Structure 1
Amino acid sequence: MSLEIVLDNYNGVCYPGQTIAGRIECVLNKEKNLRAIKIKFKGRAETEWHESESYYDHSSKKHRTRRVRYSAEEVYFEQEYILVQGGENYTLPQGRHVYPFSYILPQQLPSSFEGGYGNIQYTIKGVIDRPWKFDYETKILLNLCSPLDLNYIPGLRDPLATSVDKNICCCWCKSGPITFDISLPLRGYCPGQQVNIGAYVQNMSNVSAENVKFKIYKDTEFISHYPSTHHKHEEHVIAECEDGGIGAHGEKSWTSVLSIPTNANYPNLIPCNIINISYRLKGKVILPCPHTNLDVEFPCVIGTVPLTGVVDTTLGPPNTETSLPSYNLISGIQPPMPYPPGPLIGVPIAPAPPESAPLLPFPSGDSGYLPSNQPPYPSAIGNAAPYPSYPPTQVSNEKPPYSSGGPSPYLSGVSSPYPSSGQSPYPPTTASAPYPSAPGGSFAPALPTGAPYPTDGVFSGSSDATAPPSYEDAKQLKNEKQ
């Protein structure tokens, strides 16, 4: 007996919101009794490590050491579907049996990740449940890549500059200071791009600096929740370069270039709360012993979608005819989808996870990322999200999971269940403001052209019926009544 999971639209990587379609194939060498054939989908993150702690044993009145396990788990989705409903007396005949399935991944998911103290995994498990016997199981891992668009992280286009200095003491004689200045044109980069580092060293001391090094570090933080909150850290160097030294009473100004490697993994773990990844650029002026080095650090971000409108030094100035469109909602231009849709194979679609599933929003506040009430990905033209939303649970005509403003290229004759760019549920960006604008284009509401009361004769006893009575009229009216 054999059990295998075969995916039809998976080429080694998948994305949040994508439909995973495939089939379970089981081959029986003889007739088998079974309760059910199930398919399970699960996405979760976990952290785990052990630490030695000392404690006081009151029974022996001695200090002892014990090994404590720290762990945490975060589940993004967990669904189980029955493909074949059997029973105690249900038998499956000998031969090869195929059961198709499809599943729509949730929208907000962190990338797959493997670390020293934790991981993020997405699995599909097939199970043949047999009465009074061990179950047959098979499992496959999905490599999920969650795109990170640098254009929607504030502050990445701002240049950075800083300066540090220190005084060098040599043989109890104080000499001049060493000044180290570095600058970056921006903070956000993608694999394959170059980081241009402006550097300046002024050495007014009697000690020569041996060299200057620049490194980009990848810092990974693992967080545990049980039995208490603890943190574990990993540090890796992903890029580095080295420049020559600066002699005593000398100075040097230059530009160092660091290339972001393309063969490394840069997962997007923003939706994860127990594993965090950050990057930083560190510059160091190496001084001879016994002097300490001069260090300076900058935070940076590495994503998958580069900043638009920025000249890429690796490729030269961008071509205006072939450059990627910006996300400024230009009328009539539809940006390309970030990944190709997976074709449906004409099988029933497993229902999407309920809205109450524990999907984690993006962090908000001063974290430097999107607020929780904003979409994690760029908006497409017509205010329609470029990533698919959950389709209805019951789909009778197998409509495609992605919308391109018209019928799906994979299912002819079937219209898309999602509104096209001309049927956007949001008002167009060129619509007039809901409040009247004042003369001159300001956003303050304009005053009415005429006052609610006439300006002539209001205080001079005018006979205008619309004007309120003046003080003299009111006094005369009071005297007449008396």
Structure 2
Amino acid sequence: MASCLIEFDKNPIVFSPGDKVNGNVKMQISDEDFKARKVRMEMIGKAYTYWEGNVKNNHKIKNSGDIARVRHNCADHKGKIVYCRFETIVWKSDGSKHEMPSGEHIFPFSFQLPHWAPPSFEGDLGFIRYFIKVEIDRPWKFDDKFITCFTVLPSIDLSLIPNSQLPSKKHTCEEFGAVLWKGGLVKMEIRLPKQGYVCGESIPVKILVDNKTSKSFKKISLKLLQRITYTGFRDGFVNSQSHPCMGNEKEKVTYATRLNAQIRVEERKILEEIMDVRIEKNDKIDMEKAIIVPPLPPSTKTCEIIDVEYFLKAKMSTLGTLKSAVKLELPFIIGTVPTDKDRSFDYKKSVFGYAATSLKNRDVQKYAPLYPVYKFI
């Protein structure tokens, strides 16, 4: 029997693009006659998306009156970009018996991350993941595999992003009532003092309402949303044209055409604040609600098949049997470095915890990336 522990030289296990990933693999072999041909070690960084096609069952009536079931399959879509793949054989059998000595074996490793590595991310339809994989090649048995993930975070400095420190606002005007019985206009506006934030920071959201309708509004909900856009291809997508696979020049590269591309948008509610209000006809309100950004991956558009964006969504609901609502969205940015560079922080697991990634991929395991949460109190 074999047990394996993959240890890194730093704690917490968070790296930046371009860093060297150093550590040791400690393997314990308890059997005297443990059969093995070799031990392979890999460091892999990749983005992956996958979703199944829809299956529809239609019925076609034949001339005889019998019903024939016609099955239409919409192809599965997937995307895969390998950013780095290093492989090395750390142990190999030197005889025909293919036996690995019992006891402890220590194999050091050192790999370098590419400078263009996007941030770690876990979602329902895809991920951006970096991991060390150890595989024991065993004759006449299933291979033993051990995988340990680690977090990669590029520096997304808010002071270097244009407009991140500028205020932002958005408004909407909606008319209530039927064609012959106009109910008047209601205006809702949300404002932010700036557009860029980091985890741990408070977002002061200002909401202004001017009600010129005959309706009364009773509730305003404010949601913090994460919106992920996944790209998949009917014939797959192995690597990008902009960045090669680092460490393995023989990695097969195929370029899928955009004609075969599809996108899926996933929206995840991170938190929601409910404010009970009473806004009557001709009332105006000016209110503010603070939302603290929890541990989240940064906004990113550096991965060709996974985009991550953030929005604040306000919804104002009316009283009465025939309920109506006014909705408004305002985008903002989450970075990894605030304008105040001296502010301290701790790494914390993603607010989603061990994401329920249910993808058909052999390297899938439960993993919660770490993100910097800054101290503002």
TM-score normalized by structure 1?
A: 0.57
The answer for the alignment partner of 2:322 in structure 1 is: 290
Match of 1:120 among 97, 105, 128: 128
Contact 1:220 1:275 in 2 (8 A): yes
CA distance in 2, matches of 1:292, 1:206: 12
Q: Residue deviations 1:214-245, cap 9 Å, x none?
A: 22211112210124311222212223323313
Name the structure 1 match of 2:5. Answer: 5
CA distance in 2, matches of 1:181, 1:284: 11
Structure-to-structure mapping, 1:285-324, within 5 angstroms: 285-288=316-319, 290=322, 292-308=324-340, 324=342
- 2-side partners of 1:110 and 1:230: how far apart? 21
Q: In structure 2, do the counterparts of structure 1 residues 269 and 22 end up closer, same or farther at CA, with 3 Å as the change threshold? A: farther
Find the counterpart in structure 2 of residue 66 from structure 1. Answer: 73
**Consecutive unaligned residues in structure 2, runs of 5 or more:** 63-67, 236-259, 348-377
- Cα deviation per residue 1:86-120 (whole Å; 9 max; x = unaligned)? 44537554443333222233333233332211222
Deviations 1:288-337 (A, max 9, x none): 453632222211111221234xxxxxxxxxxxxxx729xxxxxxxxxx99
The equivalent of 1:478 in structure 2 is none
Q: 1:256-286 CA deviation, whole Å, 9 max, x = no partner?
A: 22222x3x43256443221211111122221
Contact 2:8 2:21 in 1 (8 A): no
The answer to whether the 8 Å contact 1:128/1:135 transfers is no
Q: CA deviation at 1:78?
A: 1.1
**Contact 1:55–1:64 (CA<8 Å) still a contact in 2?**
yes
Residue of 40, 51, 61 corresponding to 1:38: 40
Deviation of the 1:56 alpha carbon: 9.2
Q: Could you say which residue in structure 2 is the equivalent of 1:221?
A: 229
Mapped pair 1:235 → 2:235: no
Q: Is the 8 A contact 1:181 1:201 kept in 2?
A: yes
**TM-score of the superposed pair, with normalisation by structure 2:** 0.72
Report the counterpart of residue 281 of structure 1 in structure 2: 312
Deviation at 1:75, TM superposition (A): 0.7
Moved more, 40-49 or 12-21: 12-21
Distance 1:239 1:307, change over 3 A: farther
Q: Contact (CA 8 Å) 1:113, 1:121: kept in 2 or not? A: yes
CA distance in 1, matches of 2:102, 2:184: 88
Per the alignment, residue 199 of structure 2 pairs with 191
More strand by share: 2
* C-alpha deviation, 1:72, in angstroms: 1.3
Q: In the alignment, residue 293 of structure 1 is paired with which amino acid? A: A
Higher relative contact order (CA 8 A, sep 6+): 2
What aligned pairs does 1:16-415 form with structure 2 within 5 A after superposition? 16=16, 17-27=19-29, 29-31=31-33, 34-54=36-56, 63-66=70-73, 68-89=75-96, 92-130=100-138, 132-134=139-141, 136-147=143-154, 148-169=156-177, 172-227=180-235, 228-243=260-275, 244-260=277-293, 262=294, 264-267=295-298, 269-288=300-319, 290=322, 292-308=324-340, 324=342
Give the superposition deviation at 1:192.
2.0
**Cα distance between partner residues in 2 of 1:10 and 1:297:** 40
- 1:47–1:72 CA contact under 8 A, matched in 2: yes
Q: Which amino acid aligns with 2:232?
A: S
- For 2:176 and 2:24, locate their aligned partners in 1 and report how far apart those are by CA, in whole Å: 67
Letter of the structure 1 residue corresponding to residue 39 of structure 2: I
SS at match of 2:52: strand
Cα distance in 1 between the residues matched to 2:170 and 2:206: 11
Q: Distance in 2 between matches of 1:125 and 1:196?
A: 44
Mark the structure with the bigger radius of gyration: 1
* Identity between Structure 1 and Structure 2 (%): 23
Instruction: Give distance in 2, aligned partners of 1:294 and 1:86.
Output: 69
Q: Unaligned regions of 5+ residues in structure 1, if any?
A: 309-322, 326-335, 340-482
Secondary structure of the residue that 2:86 maps to in structure 1? strand
Q: 1:207 to 1:18 in 2, by over 3 A?
A: same
- What is the aligned length? 311
AA aligned to 1:154 is P
Matched position secondary structure for 1:106: coil
Per the alignment, residue 370 of structure 1 pairs with none
